[in-house]
Chains A and B, each alone.
Chain A
Amino acid sequence: MSTSAPQQAQAPAPADLFQDDSAAIPREHSLVVAWWIALGAAVMFILGAVVLRPAPYAEISRFIGDGLIVTFQITIVSMTFALVLGLFTGLGRTARSSFINTLASLYVEIIRGIPLLVQLFWIYYALARFVRLGPHVSAVLGLTICYGAYIGETFRAGIQSIPQGQMEAARALGLSRTQAMRHVIIPQAVRIVLPPVGNEFIAMLKDSSLVSVLAIADMLRRAREYASRTFDYFESYTLVALVYLLVTLIFSRVVFYIEQGMSRERRDYPVTVMHRLAGVVIDFVILDLIGLPLFALVQLAMVDSPATVPVSLALMAAIALGYILFFWTKTGSTPGMMAVGLQVITAQGVPPRLPLAFKRLLLAVLPVPGFGLAFSHPALGRSALQDRWTATRVVRI
């Protein structure tokens, strides 16, 4: 036996992995720089405008603030449903049954061939001949159906990118096709599709501005209302553009962190089921037994909007989905991130009459998933907490 074998067995240090890739570094680097420049410019312009010319800008920002929350709520609810629809579409597109396969493919081909704006018009105005759907339901339905097709394609690509040998190895062990999908293919595919799905989320956030045509008071609609009253078209739309830019930049960074976190986690921290279980139990106690009632109270305080209850239910479903994903894929930091995002956004939906200190408290107390993992598995917990801290800091801006 050769003496060099033990050395070769050593995994390369994470730093080497990045430094080796000499061709990729300059591009990555310039991307990061561009991101900082864009972020800095957006923040500077927004702050500068609000501080230096408060007369229209501060007023506009107050006016479109509600709209931003509506934008987030529509996006998150639609994204949750689109993820479920997309997963089934992706599975359908890779299914052996030609009937299911054709059905899924037909859905994808048809939906991708029709502009989202036309779909929204069709659901809200044309479908009204048979069923009258409210603007919010139409908006969520339209975004879900449209993005379900795109996300389905992402999932399909993810599933098909797993080498054939993985399925063969699983089948050779005696696993059924379903078991092989569940234990071998999908966990790997989810890791691969997470960054592109994150990008779909960002795309949807931007596309959700289309729902303003359904008389939904999202950010764009609110800006239009303001401008039509004061004729400050330039100021209103400039601010809206900057806010969209800022939010998009922030989320693109979050996607980047998720991407990094996933590769890092797998390499560095073997996590046992016990760690995960303990983490989830503690997370559940802190996040769900304390966090969810709090967040339900907050939602109940927003009684002025009748859309709140279904929105709350959908958010809870999203958190539950997060936990399922968490256990199924055995990754670690995604549901916490999702939950934090959801909770912080809802916390920002607190009506203005509640004191600012209370909102701050919500922000500080709610983003705690990850403590559970920190107790049960220090290394993974630390990385999860770092991700979570990034998320809270990001959303607080």
Chain B
Amino acid sequence: MLDATIGQSVVEIEALSKRFGRVEAVQDVSLAVQRGEVIVIIGPSGSGKSTLLRCVNRLEVPDSGTIRIDGVKVTGQERQINEIRAEVGMVFQQFNLFPHKTALQNIILGPLVAKGMPEKEAEALAHTLLQKVGIPEKAQAYPEQLSGGQQQRVAIARALAMAPKVMLFDEPTSALDPEMIKEVLDVMLGLAEEGMTMLVVSHEMGFARAAADRIVFMDQGRIVEITTPEQLFTAPKHERTQRFLSQILP
């Protein structure tokens, strides 16, 4: 696969802290994501998983600590942020598709506006991506005409259209009906197999088992342990992790 490039950090988080008022959402978190690596972040609600993810592309401004994307330190400058965000794809829990645009228009907006790609080229790219996420026939459909699973797949295609170096998934299946979760996870599994670097906040243990290289367990804003799927499911080290797993696993 991409063995030659493995070993180089695409995302490097160092001593990151973020507080909302009195709540310490993220405390002193460090994590390096290697190229081609899939990391799944789990933890109880309010443990800071989403905040950590949102700090990576600076939807939240961290209070302290540094983040490097592909070796470039993320500063607060407006222009640099836009460039960095273009390299970091993000998929949201609530899809956040643009309701006034068709699936195709949703996908081409980023390349067209942020990258200045010619419209023809962007549209060809969008059709390829829709094919990839399995809904080529929905190019002209508006989000409200699509099921939740289809919307989330369009959202993934939209993020991929920017050819990101890393993809962030913020609980991508939590807002979906059970029968639609699989179609989204299948797309994510496909991406993982292609060697996409992914940082996924999710409680889909089946996905974690199948795709994750490492699993990060967070609680109260801190990383409790970083482990492999095998180890997590057979012998989690920490008592806190055991308790959490006993609650979410059947």
Contacts and interface: CB of A to CB of B under 8 A. Distances in A.
Contacts, number: 93
B183 A267 contact: no
Contact of B78 (A1, A166, A176, A267): A176
A179 B114 contact: yes
Interface string B117-159: 0010000000000000000001011101111011000010011
B102 A169 contact: no
A123 B87 CA distance: 55
A84 B158 CA distance: 33
Contacts of B182: 1
Contacts of A170: 98, 109
Given A169-B96, A188-B100, A174 B114 contact: yes
Interface in A150-200: 163, 165-166, 168-177, 179, 183-184, 187-188, 191
Nearest to B98: A184
Contacts of B86: 173-174
Contact of B147 (A5, A172, A179, A270): A5
Contact of B110 (A5, A165, A175): A175
A327 to B, nearest CB: 14
Interface in A1-23: 1-2, 4-5, 8-11
Contacts of A360: none
Contacts of B57: 172
Contact of B144 (A11, A173, A191): A11
**Tier of interface size on chain A:** 20 to 34
B116 to A, nearest CB: 11
Contacts of A183: 109, 113
Nearest to B158: A173
Interface residues of B, number: 43
B181 to A, nearest CB: 10
A172 B90 contact: yes
B72 interface: no
Contact of A172 (B85, B113, B119, B138): B85
Nearest to B186: A1
B94 interface: yes
Contacts of B180: 2, 5
A132 interface: no
A396 interface: no
A112 interface: no
A246 to B, nearest CB: 35
A175 B82 CA distance: 6
Given A5-B149, A166-B96, A188-B99, A173 B179 contact: no
B158 to A, nearest CB: 7
Interface of B: 57, 59, 78, 82-83, 85-90, 92, 94, 96-100, 102, 109-110, 113-115, 119, 138, 140-142, 144-147, 149-150, 155, 158-159, 162, 179-180, 182-183
Given A5-B149, A183-B113, 12 more contacts: A165-B92, A166-B96, A171-B59, A172-B57, A172-B89, A173-B109, A174-B110, A174-B114, A179-B114, A188-B99, A188-B100, A270-B142
